[in-house]
Each structure stands twice: as C-alpha cells, then as structure tokens.
Amino acid sequence: MEAAAVAAELRTAMGKLTRRVKHEDRIPHGQVAVLGVLDRDGAMTTSDLATDQRVRPQSMARVVGLLLEQGLVTRRAHPTDGRKSLLELSDAGRAALEAERGRRAGWLAMAIEAELTQDERELLARSAALMERLAARRQDLPG
C-alpha cells in the first residue's frame, strides 16, 4: 500500500478515535485543551494560550473566564510585565484534568479489551510506538 493511502486511512481512523475518546469528557473540549496546555507547558498569558490553541484572544478570554469561575485555573501577576497576568493550573484544575484523562484512558482500555484479540493488542502496541515516531518527526521533511 502506498504511503499516501496509509496516511489517509491513518488520519481518518485517528480522527474518529480521538472524537470518540473525547466523547467521554465531562469538561468541554476547549477547556480541557487549555488545562492540558497549562499542565504541559506551565503558566501562560491568555494571549499565549490563544496563540497555542489557534483561537482569537477574545474567545480564549471567555474560556479562561469559565475556568477561573470554576477554580480550575488561577491568575497571578506577570513577573516582568505589570500589564499582563499569568494563568496556571490550580490543584482543582489538575485533579479535574487527571479525572478527564482517566475517563479517556479507561474507555479506551475497555474498548481494547472488548474488541481486540491478544494478537491485535500486541500489534496495536507496536503501532503506537510507530505513531510516536511519526509524531516526533520534524516538519521540514524533504519534498
């Protein structure tokens, strides 16, 4: 099978699986995404979050407002720019994010157990390692 055909099938399958796993979320996807970024990358400004998530700053301000109201993030003064503030994950935000991740992983583990044979599970494990390699590939591929 040609690489382009494999790429198209893989992209489609990954998209479907990602959407299905996200269906387990109890917190809206946009909010979970922001919590995940803050967990991985640390404190950020609303503007930095908007850039990271590829949304308008006004849209991110709404998401941040909801997260602040729920106590999932906290705001503190920016250390070098008094006009800005940094957002960071609160303990409640970290717990909520871990619960979301646990629900996603739990659903996926149950689906793997119910749907796949032992041989298929082993193949999937090997495939996951290959997908990690592809994800780590630099973008400046020769072309």
pLDDT in tens, the chain (143 residues): 899 999 999 999 999 999 998 888 889 989 999 999 999 999 999 999 999 999 999 999 999 999 999 999 999 999 998 899 999 999 999 999 999 999 999 999 999 999 999 999 999 999 999 999 999 987 766 65
142, part of any domain: no
pTM over 0.85: no
CATH of the domain at 21: 1.10.10.10
Domain count, the chain: 1
pLDDT at 68: 97
Name the residue range of residue 121's domain: 3-136
DSSP string computed for 62-96:
HHHHHHHHTTSEEEEE-SS-TT-EEEEE-HHHHHH
Residues 6+ apart with CB under 8 A from 59: 50
